[in-house]
Amino acid sequence: MPEDARYRKVDLHSHSSRSDGRLSPAELVNLAAEQEISLFALTDHDTLDGIPEASQKAKDLGISFVNGVELSTQWKGIPLHMVALNFDSDNPAVLSVVKKNQLIRLDRARRIADLLVKQGLPDLFDEVVALAGESQLGRPHFASLLVEKGFVKDSNKAFDRYLGNKKLGQLRDVWPELEDVLTTLSGQDIELVLAHPKRYPLTVTKLKRLLSDFKKWGGTGMEVASGNERPDSVRLLERLSVEFGLKASVGSDYHGPFGPWMQVGKYTPIHGSEVDLIWQSWH
């Protein structure tokens, strides 16, 4: 391990246009280079499509690159994201989970379109599929369409009014169980990281229960810093990562140039002194 591994500029959570990000994989890695990132992972939602382009660009620019993907799951009926990192591109277990989630995405889009029709909107299914094109179809594509058609003022309003987890109550249980995904992927030298733990509707007690299950089912890490998390949340997550023996990961969860507060490599700083940084064991 290089001596400076602890101090590298690291971003292990980001999105390209292959899912719901704005930039192409190559543009994203270019931006990472501009931000002086030295270790980078592309973690698109439920797809590995951007990885070849991103890893080639990273190689050209001298950035260390690890394969990543953000997987949609559910735990106790709550939609929950985990990030798999540092796997081989042809890992059959990863490919099978990704493939399954891609089918769910398409089926869910049909059901979302139906729910919107019930709320008096036109059937947007064909258009949303066309809009997503080669990208993994997500709710942000619905949001863009609703804005474009003038049904809502902006994407936030689209989530507030139509697309948020509360609004899509019946569609909460579409994703595979966290336990099944973790046990499918565990024991193969893949980092299995709970994404943005403070973004779920969980009390600290419930979050601890989740972390305990996550570890028990084979999880290896958790994000302690994700984008512009509150500093006190980051401190709490650092303590929890130590308490539950989950390695600490960090990431911007960058989706595109939507505002000055988001940037590749930008997240609330961690103290890091007692946590086990997940990338320290990588070569």
Binding residues for ligand AMP, per CB under 6 A? 20, 45, 72, 138-140, 155-156, 159, 164, 255
10 Å CB burial of residue 90 (0-12, 13-18, 19+) is exposed
Smallest gap from Cβ 187 to ligand AMP, in A, equals 27
Q: Residue 18: which of ligand AMP, Mn ion, none does it interact with, CB under 5 to 8 A by kind?
A: none
Closer to ligand AMP at the Cβ: 119 or 156? 156
Q: Which residue is nearest to ligand AMP (CB)?
A: 138
CB–CB of 31/23 below 8 Å? yes
**Cβ of residue 43: shortest distance to ligand AMP, in angstroms?**
10
Name the binder of 221 from ligand AMP, Mn ion, none, CB < 5-8 A by kind. Answer: none
- CB of 16 or CB of 72, closer to ligand AMP: 72
The reply to whether 11 sits near Mn ion by the rule CB under 5 A is: no
156 binds, among ligand AMP, Mn ion, none (CB under 5 to 8 A by kind): ligand AMP
Quick check: 20 binds Mn ion (CB under 5 A)? yes
C-beta closer to ligand AMP: residue 35 or 155? 155
14 φ, ψ (degrees, to nearest 5):
-160, 160
Between 104 and 242, CB nearer to ligand AMP: 104
Nearer to ligand AMP, 247 or 255 (CB): 255
